[in-house]
Amino acid sequence: MAKLWGGRFSLATDALVNHFNASIAFDQRLWRHDILGSIAHVRMLGKTGIIDQADACAIEEGLIAIRTDIEAGRANFTEEAEDVHMNIETLLTAKIGPVAGKLHTARSRNDQVATDIRLWLKDEIVDTVAAVRQVQRRLIDLAESHIDVIMPGMTHLQHAQPVRLSHHLLAYVWMLQRDSDRLGDALTRIDVLPLGSGALAGVTYPIDRELVARELGFASISQNSLDAVSDRDFAIETVSALSILMMHLSRFSEELILWNNPQFGWVTMGDNVTTGSSIMPQKKNPDVCELIRGKSGRVYGNLMTLLTILKGLPLAYNKDLQEDKEPLFDAVDTAQMCLGVLDVLLANTTFHGDRMRAAQTGDFSTATDLADFLVRQGLPFRQAHEVVGKIVQDCIQTGRRLEELVAKDLVRFSALFQSAPGNIASTEASVEARNVPGGVARGAVLEQIMLAKLATK
């Protein structure tokens, strides 16, 4: 098969070199966006008189026919044609003849591929944000239906203070909100049309780049042709945002793995979202969570791949940039799959409030509330901290629980406890005392749920 660029070559490309050079195995997924960009480009060529209007119409009709053929499975891509751009041009030539050669007037594969990736990524970010929103709404629904479940809040993976399960779940809603914000912010820098930059120096034809931008829905056009064809900042930024997203999903997955352990017993995952062991009949494994946790490293690796590809490239386009697509595609695919499967997992997970409540028995997690009571009686916090520390130590030595103590037990350590209420060390009183914006009191969490619903509309 003759290469479309083969005029100055006297020897056919070696088969191994051809295989090594080809990218159709992975960039074929850009075919729809390549055709979309080509249609906008050829319309512009016709309207500006750069090619005959009749030729422009014939090319557009041919591209539409090829799109139909691909959708119906009637078109075949070949490695000999190297990439998605040349495969489509080859198909177009076979369909409408030599006039197809006019399509590539006033453009290069360099600005063409940059346009295709941006068009593809604009669509994928919309889909990814939609998947983020679905998980957020799932978490909000769980928070709303578990508003009265109190669980141990932890620091250093040790019981610290009681919190509402709702509050804990909503923490991930706000993490995911920042993730969607980052993706949306990246979209503003993706939404720039590079087409018209040519190979690196612009083109000699009187093209109308603004017309093409409007046709393709880009907010603006690139201002420097060298930058336009060699820029992959937008891909790095997207995968960076996806890496942070995956970090959040991994953290949540780790917690679900812990909570699913029988020693916690705080959640039960459905049989339809867990797997078994090939040797141990009793096992029911949280493989979904473990894979999400593991795949975060995969997305991080994709980010490092992109950064490494770009770090030493002189301007403008270099073939190294062919390696940008696989890590970008994989990062997007991985994040979207993890979001989708996490939503299914959460829909089939039962949270055990009774086990969470029982885990707080005798855990001293309301000790700070005793110190806060002393502070309100006028004792400096550091002194109050020391007094309560001694109370905790005494309980450990005598085998008593903090929540059992009443005023007469506490006055041995400070006379200021004489007016202490009977529920001073209860988990319910502890959470309700934190009725501040962002706090764990019932009213504060209900307010947070309302704000989360507004943020995720």
Give the residue numbers marked as catalytic: 156, 277
97: tokens are 């003849």
21: tokens are 């050079």
Residue 221, SS3 per DSSP:
strand
432: tokens are 């309700």
Residue 436, SS3 per DSSP:
coil
How many residues are there in the chain?
A: 457
Is 56 within 8 Å of 113 (Cβ atoms)?
no
Is 105 within 8 Å of 50 (Cβ atoms)?
yes
| Strand ranges inside 168-265, DSSP E | 192-193, 220-221
278: tokens are 């090939």
Sign (positive/negative) of CA torsion 229, 233, 221, 128?
positive
Pick from 185, 292, 302: nearest CA to 247: 292
Tally: H helices and E strands in the chain: 18, 6
Long-range contacts made by residues 66-72, C-beta under 8 angstroms, separation at least 24? 66/35, 66/91, 66/92, 66/95, 67/32, 67/35, 70/31, 70/32
Sign (positive/negative) of CA torsion 113, 119, 122, 126?
negative
User: What residues have CB less than 8 Å from 16, skipping those under 6 apart?
Assistant: none
User: What residues have CB less than 8 Å from 196, skipping those under 6 apart?
Assistant: 106, 107, 111, 202, 203, 207, 209, 212, 221
Alpha carbon 327 to its chain centroid, in Å, reads 14
71: tokens are 């959708």
Q: In angstroms, rounded to a whole number, what is the distance separating the alpha carbons of residues 298 and 308?
A: 15
DSSP state of 232: -
